[in-house]
Structure 1
Amino acid sequence: MFELLGVPPQVLFGQLLLGLINGSFYALLSLGLAVIFGMLNVINFAHGAQYMLGAFAAYLLGQYAGIGYWWSLLLAPLAVGAFGIVLEKTMLSRLYKLDHLYGLLLTFGLALIIEGVFRQVYGVSGQPYPIPALLQGGQNLGFMFLPNYRGWVIVASLLICLATWYAIERTRLGAYLRAATENPVLVQAFGINVPVMITLTYGFGVALAGFAGVLAAPIYQVNPLMGSNLIIVVFAVVVIGGMGSILGAILTGFGLGILEGLTKVFYPEASNIVIFVVMAIVLLIKPAGLFGRER
């Protein structure tokens, strides 16, 4: 069947794998953005810089503390999340009653500052980060060769996305979070500390970006610009899925990654713009996004 389309199976499945890998990062990053916007109504333009911080945290932990990949996968997101909590307490918390534009401008400025500092110290050539020994090599599936680490990235991303969706949509904690966004005064009357909950929610969303950065470090070089190269696409994914929609962020992230991979097979010239074309079509038909709700 593939030969009838003029595409060798190895090329098609290779691009589908690449699309799934890209989709894994789109889903993780857009999920973090959706959590932050859905719970805090903040458009976090610093998300790309925080993704980059996760990669650099893993790199620095390895270089100066001798901490390997597996511990970095835990410690780096915690460090980036803690940094996000500091930002929320000192800056973002002052903007919640203002228009969304103020939060966007603040986080955009923070992204420029963070990236500028790392560019000044490390340049833009990038730093290598090794694949952990346990995940080196790959599997011959017959129709394609699957590198172990890339398979791990897809599985890890999917597990984290599903766990986050379950926690927010199916647990009591998630119900408190959703209620706090709708009526914080009522929720606080039940003895729940809403400001602390909001702060931890922002920290969690930022930690998701840091986790994605650690996953990306062995695939892409650790580079101060790695976040800015990705964040515009991720925002397009969030808009298509619906701002604040957890399920929309996950499904749209993986789906658009696959679509981008297929476009590289059949019409490579359009692969860089296909997501933005989809965004334009979705906004014309359903301005709230595929899974979003009209506000």
Structure 2
Amino acid sequence: MSGLLSYSFTVFGTTVSVSAMLGQATLGLINGAFYACLSLGLAVIFGMLNIINFAHGALFMMGAFASWMLLNYVGIGYFPALILSPLLVGLFGIVLEKTIISRLYKLDHLYGLLLTFGLALVIEGLFRNAYGSSGMPYRIPDVLQGAVNLGYMYMPKYRGWVVLAAAVVCFSTWAIIEKTSLGARLRAATENAPMVQAFGVDVPRLITLTYGGGVALAAFAGVLAAPIYSVNPNMGSNFINIVFAVVVIGGMGSILGSIITGFGLGVIEGLTKVFYPQASATVVFLVMVIVLLVRPRGLFGKAA
């Protein structure tokens, strides 16, 4: 095994060892966990409600700030905050949906995009005025400190936890939407709301809870990101462009497509840093262009 890990080969004029390639792929999987969580929330909101939620990055940032505030102002640790922060930010999302977002369902997608883009600017501006632009640290919990020897690299325990937690939440969300009666009612409500309401289902409440759930997924990713990235008002805007590309590649509204594409593109981005580092910042968008040319509806999207 050690002999295989030390094996090297040359690509694009760069000599790369197998251990370096595996290490970057693993690190890419960590970024992919954030891409999957964020794109899943976007896919849930768009697929169920037909709203392009450009405020998703700001809500991701609110999740990180909520966990930071719970720790520093209330004394609540990481694991309780991992539950409470998504609930609090999801409640904020429910208020947004009831007061503002619900007015856009019968309008063109462009109105929703412009409104949520404006909301993102307002939310980020408020946090920037209150806390500045410099990042604030969030301590990794003691039980997740340290690293594990994988043979080809030392994997920080917390980063391994991020991949595991994101995968569990993402695939659990997919299972709820695709395999349960609740998910069936929700999917039916998006296709024919009057008929579903005639069967006694409270469709407006179902839609509101769906938007709150999508927002909670973004906040959950924000809590996971808080110990890795500095908690700052701009952290969501650093992710949102890539996350939109992930959703487009996977297929707008495709739950499973967002999950698989998020993790997959994280790995591709990590490998690109080994073979051709100059392209690592743009490889996701290059993949998006290729997919749109070959399959405009996305890898897992349904034909219109």
Please provide the CA RMSD for this pair.
0.9
* Alignment match of 1:63 (pick from 48, 72, 75): 72
Instruction: Find the counterpart in structure 2 of residue 122 from structure 1.
Output: 131
* Alignment match of 1:256 (pick from 252, 258, 265): 265
Instruction: Find the counterpart in structure 2 of residue 221 from structure 1.
Output: 230
**2:296 counterpart SS class:** coil
Deviates more, 1:6-15 or 1:87-96: 6-15
Instruction: Find the counterpart in structure 1 of residue 210 from structure 2.
Output: 201
- Displacement after TM superposition at 1:11 (Å): 2.3
CA deviations on 1:27-47 (whole Å, 9 max, x unpaired) are: 000000000000000000000
**1:263 counterpart SS class:** helix
Deviates more, 1:114-123 or 1:37-46: 114-123
CA deviations on 1:202-250 (whole Å, 9 max, x unpaired) are: 0000000000000000000001000011100000000000000001000
- Displacement after TM superposition at 1:10 (Å): 3.8
Amino acid at match of 2:161: W
Amino acid at match of 2:51: V
Instruction: Find the counterpart in structure 2 of residue 86 from structure 1.
Output: 95
Amino acid at match of 2:9: L
2:30 matched to 1:21? Answer: yes
8 Å CA contact 2:41–2:217 kept in 1: the answer is yes
Amino acid at match of 2:236: G
Amino acid at match of 2:8: E
2:12 matched to 1:3? Answer: no
Name the CA distance, whole Å, in 2 between partners of 1:135 and 1:9: 27
Amino acid at match of 1:277: L
**1:7 counterpart SS class:** strand
Instruction: Find the counterpart in structure 2 of residue 138 from structure 1.
Output: 147
Amino acid at match of 1:14: G
Name the CA distance, whole Å, in 2 between partners of 1:163 and 1:113: 32
Name the CA distance, whole Å, in 2 between partners of 1:20 and 1:285: 25
Instruction: Find the counterpart in structure 1 of residue 156 from structure 2.
Output: 147
Name the CA distance, whole Å, in 1 between partners of 2:26 and 2:215: 26
Name the CA distance, whole Å, in 1 between partners of 2:60 and 2:175: 23
CA deviations on 1:174-194 (whole Å, 9 max, x unpaired) are: 000100000000000000000
Name the CA distance, whole Å, in 2 between partners of 1:58 and 1:11: 34
8 Å CA contact 2:9–2:17 kept in 1: the answer is no
- Displacement after TM superposition at 1:140 (Å): 1.2
Name the CA distance, whole Å, in 2 between partners of 1:142 and 1:294: 44
8 Å CA contact 2:269–2:280 kept in 1: the answer is yes
Name the CA distance, whole Å, in 1 between partners of 2:222 and 2:249: 23
CA deviations on 1:149-199 (whole Å, 9 max, x unpaired) are: 000000000000110010000000000010000000000000000000000
CA deviations on 1:2-58 (whole Å, 9 max, x unpaired) are: 413432344222211210011000000000000000000000000000000000000
Q: Where in structure 1 do 4 or more consecutive aligned residues deviate above 3 Å?
A: none
- Displacement after TM superposition at 1:293 (Å): 1.1
- Displacement after TM superposition at 1:122 (Å): 1.1
Contiguous gaps of at least 5 residues in structure 2: none
Question: Percent of counterpart pairs with the same letter?
Answer: 68
Name the CA distance, whole Å, in 1 between partners of 2:93 and 2:181: 24
* Alignment match of 1:236 (pick from 245, 248, 251): 245
Name the CA distance, whole Å, in 1 between partners of 2:9 and 2:278: 21
Matches within 5 A, 1:163-174: 163-174=172-183
Instruction: Find the counterpart in structure 2 of residue 283 from structure 1.
Output: 292
The TM-score, its normalising length taken from structure 1, stands at 0.98
8 Å CA contact 2:23–2:152 kept in 1: the answer is no
Amino acid at match of 2:241: I
The TM-score, its normalising length taken from structure 2, stands at 0.96
Name the CA distance, whole Å, in 1 between partners of 2:164 and 2:9: 32
Name the CA distance, whole Å, in 2 between partners of 1:187 and 1:4: 59
